[in-house]
Structure formats: structure tokens, C-alpha cells
């Protein structure tokens, strides 16, 4: 028992001794070292700072860089320290390095009642080094990544842009933000009393984002944008878009929007121009939709290309008068010629053979009323009615593309199914991520290869003599396509002077390698004039570029041509 009491006493004495030592140390530091410690605290300031990860590069299909990140700095001022010196002289020294007026710099570095305050963002690293070399009290920097788009307007709405927080705000930058942004690192920075770093230690390295390669071909994209620039300059529409696709695999080779925006200075662009019209613009397709009507009737065996259809001079339905663009007497046209001259009444007569349920089936079978699945944000699904929602006039305006809304990407995708032999496939614009190829979506057969071939053969006639796009023909090449001119609805009524005009075509018609869709919003021109002309220019540039040869002999004009091939 005595032994236990002695051990407890020793343990208690030890604790008392440690407490005395601690108190002595505290007294020493407080009484004799206070000044030195206060000075050290003032002199050395330790901070943990993020090391921004390099955002992944975006390239075209051949490695042409479309977006990249460069090291930059955020310049920061401490107005308290600045005011101790000569603020005006400081502003004069910084202004040329920041490309800002001295008055602007002065206002930022003397911000009253603030602590550290940002003076400039995205300052190139070389400039940042020059600023640090000035050794100005109260001026410091944080490392950041600056997003740069070397080709400024090229595919800007597709690429999107990055906000000040480093996150993608639109386009591919937004859709693949988690892949592109990587993972930030951490560094330990020790600064002196003037805010100047005296020691930097990397605690965790940054991990860069992955590179994304798009399916877009940069030279083709540039040419398509040049064509749209010409459309804008000559016709002054509200907006325009163009899509070039490979129908065999759904790859988007070009996707352009006009007006253009500069991705390096997105704040300077009108908000409406920043939208990707190809996926986000809903419009009435007009006569380009007649190919869908005819496709369904062909597949159902209700008509053939040579089936004769009675086409009256006009139709009167529930108080509405339906006419064709060109006045004509009662006549008889083949299905092929109905497409060639783009007869509204002819399309209605074909649809009457189908009936509401069958027509509705084929509209949805071609993908309308739902998203295509393209890997771009902001896609709209358009609006199409189901047969049980039809009004008494629905079967007399829907078949020629009035009364439903679609998007340009939906139309290009539907025509790609016609071009590739009847397989509907989701369009794609990302070719690889981090060097690993993305997989093309499995397609769904929606019409037979023979139906697709017969339809392409009929669409040849649109570019032939007497067709609505005869001016878009390119000598020696096998082309097929369809014009569309839809009246724009203004204040609840169809305008007689403003149209959404379009053209969708393919080359070569026998085995298409390219599908080109052009849609122009609010123009006074018909689809054959404005859309057909743009199609002609795009295809005229693209066929030699992609090695697409002209017809070896005379190109077939339509299914009625006795020399035309008839076997799919």
C-alpha cells in the first residue's frame, strides 16, 4: 500500500514539474520573446493555394487544336499596403503590363475598405513574371489557367466557353466539363510582410484534363462558315445553320451557326447568337418533310415512284384553302414528280392513302418528337402531334411540313437514314476522349434499303430540269435533295413574306458519303434559292476534298429516267 502511495506521489510530482516547465516557457515567450514572435508573424504569412489543373485540349478529327489552356496569373492588390506607398506611381507602372488605363488600375488597387482585391484576370504568365519583378508592396499573384480558342469563331457555339470559375458554360466545354477540367493540385506559399512569396512548396500535383477529339473537320468547318457568312451578307436573315454529316456512321463533319461569335470574347456577342441553332432551333420544316411522307407511303406499299396521283388545283378543308406554290389546273403527277415540283396538294393526296395512324407512325419512326441523342447540350425535341390529337385539317398541313416543329439536327439525321439505306442512327460529334475512341450508337432500321434507294432516286429530280432546286445542280455529280420553304408565324398568323427556308441534300445519290443540311431563319427567299445555293457551294468544295468522284457517265435525273439504275 505504501508502495502504491509512493508511485502516485511520483506521478503527481511529474505532472507538476511539466506544468511548471510549460508555465515558465510561456512566461519566457510572453515576456522576453513577444517582440520577435510578433515580427516573425508579421514577416511570414503561410497560405495553401490551389494549383489549377490544365484543362484538356479540344481538337478536330485530325488533331487541329480548337481549344487549349495556357498558364496565366490573377493579379491581386492589398489596398492597405498600396496606400502606404505611392498608389498613382504604382498604377502607372502596372498599367502597360495589364493593358489597362492607369485610371482603371488606380481604382482597383485603392479599393477602399477591402482586403485583397483582384486587379486583373488571365494575365499571361510572362507578364505576371514582369509584374512580380517590379517588387511592389501589396501586389501578388495567383496561378490560373487561361482558356484560349486559337481560331476564335470556328465552331464557337459547338465548342462553347469557360467561365471565370474555370467551368464550362456551353457546348462541348459544358457537356464534357468533368472530363476536361482535370483535378487541381495544392501548394504551400510563405510570403513576407509585403506579400511577396519567399517560399513555394508543391504539396499535391495537379492532374490535367483529358483531350477531346471532335468528329469535325476544321477545313470543311471553315468553308461552311464562309458560305454562311455569304448568306448573311447577301440576304440578311435572322440566323442560319448548316450541318454536314457522314450518313454511314452519324459523324458530324461540320456544324456551323451564323451570326458568328468569338469564343475568346463571348461577352461581346448578342445572347441570341451564342445558341447552337443546329440543335436548339425549332422550326416548321416545310417541304423537306414531304420526303418523310413519301417514305412511309413507299414502305407501306401504298405507292411507287411512278404511281399516278390526281392533284387538283386546290383543296378546301374545314374552311382552309390549300394550294401549291405555283398555280396549276387539275392535273395528274407521279409520286416522283410530286417531290420534284414540291406539290403540297400531291403530298396531301399521298397522306390520305396512309391515314392518320400510319402517317403518325412514320413521323415518329423517323425520330421526330424526341431527342436525337447528339452529344451536345441544349438539344430541343421539337413538337409533333400524335394522331389522336389531330384536328380536321392536320392531315392536310402536316404532310407538307406545316403544323409540326423540328430541329435542323433531326432533319439531317432523318435524311441520313434515307442516305445510308434506311438505318436511323444517333449523330455524334465526339470522336475520342483521352485517346480512346467513342463508340458509334447502334442504328435502327426504319425503312428497307430498296425504299431508301427509290426515295433517293426520286430526290435526284429536285435538282434536275424543272425541279425546285435545279440551280443547285453541280455538273457531273450525282446529287439528290429537297427544298423547304415554311411561312414564319408572326402574331399567330402565317407571314406571306418571311420564311424559314432550307435545303437538305446528299452526294453521291447512289451511295451517299455526305449529307448537307442548310436552314435559314426568317428570310424572304425560297429554300431552292438560298438553301440550294448554299448547298451547292458547300458540296462543290467538299467533293474534291473528300475524293468523291463525278459520275462516270451521265448522272441519272430521277426514277423516271429510263437509264437510271433501279437495283438498290
Give the pLDDT confidence score for residue 12 in this predicted structure.
63
Question: Is it the case that residue 126 has pLDDT exceeding 60?
Answer: yes
Which one has a higher pLDDT value, 128 or 462?
Answer: 462
Quick one: pLDDT band at residue 378, thresholds 50, 70, 90? Answer: very high
Question: Is it the case that residue 176 has pLDDT exceeding 70?
Answer: yes
Q: Which residues pair with 516 in a beta bridge?
A: 244, 505
The widest CA-to-CA distance across the chain, in whole angstroms, is 130
Quick one: pLDDT band at residue 562, thresholds 50, 70, 90? Answer: very low
Q: Is residue 155 a contact partner of residue 376, using CB atoms and an 8 Å limit?
A: no
Strand (E) or helix (H) holding 392 = none
Q: Is residue 420 a contact partner of residue 397, using CB atoms and an 8 Å limit?
A: no
- Domains of the chain and CATH, by start: 47-71+142-214 (3.90.1310.10), 218-545 (3.40.710.10)
Q: Is residue 278 a contact partner of residue 516, using CB atoms and an 8 Å limit?
A: no
Q: Which residues pair with 191 in a beta bridge?
A: 45, 197
Contacts of 138 (CB under 8 A, 6+ apart): 77, 78, 79, 80, 81, 82, 84, 85, 109, 194, 195
Per-residue pLDDT tens over the stretch 243-286? 999 999 999 999 999 999 999 999 889 988 999 999 999 999 99
Give the pLDDT confidence score for residue 212 in this predicted structure.
98
Give the pLDDT confidence score for residue 494 in this predicted structure.
92
Per-residue pLDDT tens over the stretch 149-165? 999 999 999 999 998 77
Q: CA 400 to CA 346: how far, in whole Å?
A: 9
Amino acid at each position: 500500500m505504501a508502495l502504491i502511495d509512493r508511485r502516485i506521489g511520483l506521478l503527481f510530482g511529474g505532472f507538476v514539474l511539466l506544468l511548471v516547465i510549460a508555465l515558465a516557457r510561456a512566461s519566457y515567450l510572453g515576456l522576453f520573446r513577444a517582440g520577435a514572435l510578433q515580427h516573425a508573424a508579421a514577416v511570414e504569412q503561410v497560405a495553401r493555394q490551389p494549383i489549377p489543373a490544365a484543362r484538356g485540349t479540344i481538337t478536330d478529327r485530325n488533331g487541329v487544336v480548337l481549344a487549349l489552356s495556357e498558364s496565366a496569373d490573377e493579379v491581386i492588390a492589398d489596398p492597405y499596403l498600396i496606400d502606404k506607398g505611392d498608389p498613382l506611381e504604382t498604377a502607372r507602372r502596372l498599367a502597360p503590363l495589364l493593358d489597362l488605363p492607369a485610371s482603371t488600375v488606380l481604382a482597383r488597387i485603392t479599393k477602399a475598405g477591402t482586403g485583397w482585391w483582384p486587379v486583373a484576370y488571365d494575365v499571361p504568365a510572362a507578364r505576371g513574371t514582369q509584374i512580380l519583378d517590379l517588387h511592389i508592396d501589396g501586389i501578388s499573384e495567383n496561378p490560373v489557367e487561361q482558356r484560349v480558342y486559337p481560331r476564335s469563331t470556328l465552331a464557337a457555339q459547338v465548342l462553347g466557353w469557360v467561365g471565370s470559375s474555370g467551368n464550362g458554360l456551353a457546348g462541348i466545354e459544358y457537356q464534357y466539363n468533368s472530363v476536361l477540367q482535370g483535378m487541381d493540385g495544392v501548394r504551400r506559399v510563405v510570403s513576407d510582410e509585403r506579400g511577396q512569396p519567399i517560399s513555394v512548396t508543391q504539396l499535391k500535383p495537379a492532374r490535367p484534363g483529358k483531350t477531346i477529339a471532335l468528329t469535325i473537320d476544321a477545313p470543311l468547318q471553315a468553308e461552311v462558315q464562309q458560305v454562311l457568312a455569304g448568306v448573311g451578307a447577301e440576304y440578311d436573315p435572322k440566323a442560319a445553320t448548316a450541318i454536314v454529316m457522314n450518313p454511314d456512321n452519324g459523324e458530324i463533319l461540320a456544324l456551323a451557326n451564323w451570326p458568328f461569335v468569338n469564343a475568346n470574347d463571348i461577352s461581346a456577342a448578342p445572347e441570341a447568337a451564342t445558341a447552337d441553332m443546329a440543335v436548339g432551333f425549332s422550326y416548321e420544316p416545310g417541304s423537306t418533310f414531304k420526303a418523310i411522307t413519301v417514305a412511309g407511303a413507299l414502305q407501306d406499299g401504298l405507292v411507287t415512284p411512278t404511281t399516278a396521283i390526281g392533284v387538283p388545283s386546290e383543296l378546301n378543308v374545314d374552311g382552309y384553302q390549300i394550294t401549291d406554290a405555283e398555280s396549276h389546273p387539275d392535273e395528274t403527277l407521279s409520286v416522283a414528280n410530286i417531290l420534284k415540283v414540291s406539290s403540297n396538294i400531291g403530298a396531301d393526296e399521298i397522306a390520305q392513302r396512309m391515314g392518320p395512324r400510319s402517317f403518325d407512325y412514320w413521323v415518329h419512326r423517323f425520330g421526330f418528337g424526341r431527342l436525337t441523342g447528339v452529344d451536345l447540350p441544349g438539344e430541343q425535341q421539337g413538337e409533333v402531334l400524335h394522331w389522336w390529337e389531330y384536328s380536321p385539317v392536320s392531315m392536310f398541313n402536316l404532310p407538307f411540313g406545316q403544323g409540326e416543329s423540328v430541329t435542323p439536327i433531326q432533319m439531317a439525321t432523318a435524311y441520313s437514314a434515307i442516305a445510308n439505306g434506311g438505318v436511323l442512327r444517333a449523330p455524334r460529334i465526339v470522336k475520342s476522349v483521352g485517346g480512346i475512341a467513342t463508340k458509334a450508337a447502334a442504328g435502327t432500321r426504319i425503312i428497307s434499303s430498296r425504299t431508301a434507294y427509290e426515295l433517293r432516286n426520286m430526290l435526284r429530280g429536285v435538282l434536275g430540269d424543272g425541279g425546285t432546286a435545279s440551280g443547285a445542280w453541280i455538273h457531273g455529280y450525282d446529287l439528290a435533295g429537297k427544298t423547304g420553304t415554311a411561312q414564319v408565324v408572326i402574331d399567330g398568323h402565317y407571314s406571306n413574306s418571311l420564311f424559314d427556308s432550307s435545303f437538305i441534300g446528299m452526294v453521291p445519290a447512289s451511295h451517299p458519303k455526305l449529307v448537307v443540311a442548310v436552314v435559314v431563319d426568317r428570310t424572304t427567299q425560297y429554300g431552292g434559292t438560298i438553301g440550294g445555293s448554299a448547298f451547292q457551294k458547300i458540296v462543290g468544295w467538299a467533293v474534291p476534298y473528300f475524293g468523291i468522284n463525278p459520275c462516270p457517265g451521265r448522272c441519272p435525273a430521277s426514277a423516271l429516267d429510263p437509264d437510271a439504275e433501279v437495283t438498290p
